[in-house]
Amino acid sequence: MARPFPRPAQHPLEQSGFLLPLATTGALVLLLSSLSLQTAVLQSRRVLQLQAQRQHQEDQLTSAAHRLGAELTGPYRCLLALPSDQWPQAATAGCPAGVDPAGLLALLQQEHGVALSRWQPSPTGGELQLQLGANGPSASWGLSLAPTPSLRELG
Protein backbone atom coordinates (compact mmCIF):
# COMPACT_ATOMS: atom_id res chain seq x y z
CA MET A 1 0.00 0.00 0.00
CA ALA A 2 1.30 3.31 -1.01
CA ARG A 3 1.60 5.90 1.59
CA PRO A 4 0.97 9.43 0.58
CA PHE A 5 3.77 11.96 1.08
CA PRO A 6 3.29 14.02 4.14
CA ARG A 7 2.18 17.49 3.40
CA PRO A 8 4.19 20.33 4.83
CA ALA A 9 2.63 22.24 7.59
CA GLN A 10 1.01 25.44 6.57
CA HIS A 11 2.80 28.53 7.84
CA PRO A 12 0.98 31.66 8.61
CA LEU A 13 1.15 34.24 5.81
CA GLU A 14 3.21 36.76 7.83
CA GLN A 15 6.12 34.27 8.26
CA SER A 16 6.50 33.33 4.60
CA GLY A 17 9.27 34.93 2.46
CA PHE A 18 11.44 36.46 5.20
CA LEU A 19 14.71 34.85 3.95
CA LEU A 20 14.89 36.71 0.63
CA PRO A 21 14.88 40.22 2.13
CA LEU A 22 17.35 39.09 4.80
CA ALA A 23 19.75 37.65 2.18
CA THR A 24 19.41 40.76 0.01
CA THR A 25 20.17 43.02 2.96
CA GLY A 26 23.23 40.95 3.88
CA ALA A 27 24.51 41.09 0.29
CA LEU A 28 24.06 44.86 0.17
CA VAL A 29 25.96 45.28 3.44
CA LEU A 30 28.84 43.18 2.07
CA LEU A 31 28.84 45.11 -1.21
CA LEU A 32 28.91 48.50 0.52
CA SER A 33 31.66 47.47 2.90
CA SER A 34 33.83 46.14 0.06
CA LEU A 35 33.28 49.36 -1.92
CA SER A 36 34.29 51.50 1.04
CA LEU A 37 37.38 49.34 1.56
CA GLN A 38 38.30 49.71 -2.12
CA THR A 39 37.83 53.49 -1.91
CA ALA A 40 40.12 53.68 1.12
CA VAL A 41 42.82 51.67 -0.68
CA LEU A 42 42.60 53.85 -3.79
CA GLN A 43 42.77 57.01 -1.69
CA SER A 44 45.84 55.84 0.21
CA ARG A 45 47.51 54.86 -3.06
CA ARG A 46 46.89 58.34 -4.47
CA VAL A 47 48.33 59.95 -1.34
CA LEU A 48 51.47 57.80 -1.67
CA GLN A 49 51.82 58.77 -5.33
CA LEU A 50 51.54 62.47 -4.48
CA GLN A 51 54.12 62.13 -1.71
CA ALA A 52 56.54 60.38 -4.06
CA GLN A 53 56.01 63.06 -6.71
CA ARG A 54 56.61 65.85 -4.19
CA GLN A 55 59.77 64.12 -2.93
CA HIS A 56 61.04 63.78 -6.50
CA GLN A 57 60.42 67.49 -7.14
CA GLU A 58 62.24 68.44 -3.94
CA ASP A 59 65.16 66.24 -4.99
CA GLN A 60 65.29 67.92 -8.39
CA LEU A 61 65.37 71.38 -6.81
CA THR A 62 68.03 70.36 -4.29
CA SER A 63 70.19 68.78 -6.95
CA ALA A 64 69.96 71.90 -9.12
CA ALA A 65 70.77 74.13 -6.15
CA HIS A 66 73.90 72.13 -5.37
CA ARG A 67 74.94 72.22 -9.01
CA LEU A 68 74.43 75.99 -9.20
CA GLY A 69 76.20 76.48 -5.88
CA ALA A 70 79.19 74.52 -7.17
CA GLU A 71 79.27 76.56 -10.38
CA LEU A 72 78.97 79.87 -8.50
CA THR A 73 81.89 78.98 -6.24
CA GLY A 74 83.91 77.68 -9.19
CA PRO A 75 84.12 78.98 -12.75
CA TYR A 76 81.20 81.40 -12.36
CA ARG A 77 82.53 83.01 -9.18
CA CYS A 78 82.44 86.47 -10.78
CA LEU A 79 78.61 86.28 -10.73
CA LEU A 80 78.46 86.04 -6.93
CA ALA A 81 78.55 89.80 -6.46
CA LEU A 82 75.76 90.48 -8.99
CA PRO A 83 72.03 89.97 -8.53
CA SER A 84 70.63 87.54 -11.08
CA ASP A 85 68.83 90.28 -13.01
CA GLN A 86 72.27 91.79 -13.80
CA TRP A 87 73.85 88.53 -14.98
CA PRO A 88 73.30 89.29 -18.69
CA GLN A 89 75.77 92.18 -18.29
CA ALA A 90 78.34 89.87 -16.68
CA ALA A 91 80.86 90.48 -19.47
CA THR A 92 81.08 94.12 -18.39
CA ALA A 93 81.36 93.19 -14.70
CA GLY A 94 84.83 91.75 -14.97
CA CYS A 95 83.92 88.13 -15.75
CA PRO A 96 86.23 86.21 -18.08
CA ALA A 97 85.20 85.91 -21.71
CA GLY A 98 84.26 82.20 -21.40
CA VAL A 99 81.74 82.77 -18.62
CA ASP A 100 78.23 82.73 -20.06
CA PRO A 101 75.41 83.05 -17.50
CA ALA A 102 72.84 82.12 -20.15
CA GLY A 103 74.69 78.85 -20.72
CA LEU A 104 74.66 78.12 -17.00
CA LEU A 105 70.93 78.78 -16.76
CA ALA A 106 70.27 76.66 -19.86
CA LEU A 107 72.29 73.84 -18.28
CA LEU A 108 70.10 73.96 -15.15
CA GLN A 109 66.99 73.86 -17.28
CA GLN A 110 68.27 71.02 -19.44
CA GLU A 111 69.67 68.80 -16.67
CA HIS A 112 67.15 69.40 -13.91
CA GLY A 113 64.15 71.18 -15.47
CA VAL A 114 64.75 74.04 -13.04
CA ALA A 115 64.85 77.79 -13.61
CA LEU A 116 66.63 80.39 -11.51
CA SER A 117 64.05 82.73 -10.02
CA ARG A 118 66.42 84.94 -8.10
CA TRP A 119 69.97 85.27 -6.84
CA GLN A 120 70.51 87.98 -4.25
CA PRO A 121 74.12 88.42 -3.11
CA SER A 122 75.06 89.25 0.47
CA PRO A 123 78.43 89.92 2.15
CA THR A 124 78.66 86.31 3.34
CA GLY A 125 77.25 84.60 0.24
CA GLY A 126 73.73 85.05 -1.00
CA GLU A 127 70.23 83.69 -1.36
CA LEU A 128 69.28 81.44 -4.25
CA GLN A 129 65.69 80.79 -5.33
CA LEU A 130 64.86 78.10 -7.90
CA GLN A 131 61.57 77.04 -9.48
CA LEU A 132 60.70 73.72 -11.05
CA GLY A 133 59.04 74.27 -14.42
CA ALA A 134 56.82 77.22 -15.25
CA ASN A 135 54.24 76.74 -12.48
CA GLY A 136 56.01 74.17 -10.31
CA PRO A 137 57.16 74.41 -6.72
CA SER A 138 60.01 76.67 -5.73
CA ALA A 139 62.53 76.69 -2.90
CA SER A 140 65.22 78.96 -1.53
CA TRP A 141 68.74 78.22 -0.31
CA GLY A 142 71.33 80.26 1.47
CA LEU A 143 74.84 80.04 0.05
CA SER A 144 77.53 80.64 2.64
CA LEU A 145 81.09 81.19 1.47
CA ALA A 146 83.04 81.18 4.73
CA PRO A 147 84.85 79.13 5.92
CA THR A 148 83.95 76.74 3.05
CA PRO A 149 81.10 77.07 0.54
CA SER A 150 77.91 75.44 1.79
CA LEU A 151 74.19 75.46 1.01
CA ARG A 152 71.32 75.37 3.48
CA GLU A 153 67.68 75.21 2.53
CA LEU A 154 65.63 78.22 3.60
CA GLY A 155 62.22 77.03 2.46
Domains in the chain: boundaries: 31-153
Residue 35: band (very low, low, confident or very high) from pLDDT cuts 50, 70, 90: very high
On average, the pLDDT of the chain sits at 85
Predicted TM-score of the model (pTM): 0.71
Cβ atoms of 117 and 129 within 8 Å: the answer is yes
Helix (H, G, I), strand (E, B) or coil at 80: coil
pLDDT in tens, 46-96: 999 999 999 999 999 999 999 988 888 888 888 888 898 888 876 656 677
Residues whose CB falls within 8 Å of the CB of residue 113, separated by 6 or more in sequence, listed in order: 60, 132, 133
Is omega for the bond preceding 147 within 30 degrees of 0, making it cis? Answer: yes
